[in-house]
Amino acid sequence: MKGPVGSPLDSRVSETVTSPESALESSVLACFMAYEHALRGGDVAAMDSWFAADVRTVRFGVADEQWGAEEVRRWRGTASRVPEGRQLAETAVEAWADNLAVVTTLFRYPGSASVGRQSQIWLLTDVGWRIVHAHVSERPPAP
């Protein structure tokens, strides 16, 4: 799997998804894409529903952090929507166990040279696949 340096986002915006290798990875990818759809649409209730309702759930944002599902929900209720035109690249799902997978992706917004990086740990719970840990960061454009 390619890293962020030399990725399609360095020179152009393109949306790419690595083909899942298993039914489990396909299932997690479908959940991730549903979360992404909610994120792009500003659907706070749907975004919240994808995070595990657990005190151990963690979300690290570009300039914020939340510890526990309730804190994620409180923050999400006041957070700004993501800018229009968000595009992903090099989205990949890696299954680590029958009930655990990691999703990684790069993202960019039109008019910004920065490249965003996002990773999520998904756990299969009693209510389906849920995010138990998320990390979002940005890096400045390559020189």
Q: pLDDT by residue (tens digit) across 75-113? A: 999 999 999 999 999 999 999 999 999 999 999 999 888
How far is 10 from 39, CA to CA, in rounded Å? 23
What is the sign, positive or negative, of the torsion defined by CA atoms of 35, 102, 97, 100? negative
- pLDDT of 5: 35
- pLDDT of 15: 64
- pLDDT of 113: 87
| Ranges of the chain whose pLDDT falls below 70 | 1-16
What letters, b where the CB count within 10 A reaches 16 and e where it falls short, cover 83-111?
Answer: eeebbbbbbbbebeeeebbebbbbbbbee
Question: Which tokens in the block code for residue 37?
Answer: 């759809």
How far is 126 from 86, CA to CA, in rounded Å? 31
How far is 28 from 13, CA to CA, in rounded Å? 24
- pLDDT of 9: 41
- pLDDT of 37: 96
- pLDDT of 4: 34
Question: Which tokens in the block code for residue 119?
Answer: 């990773």
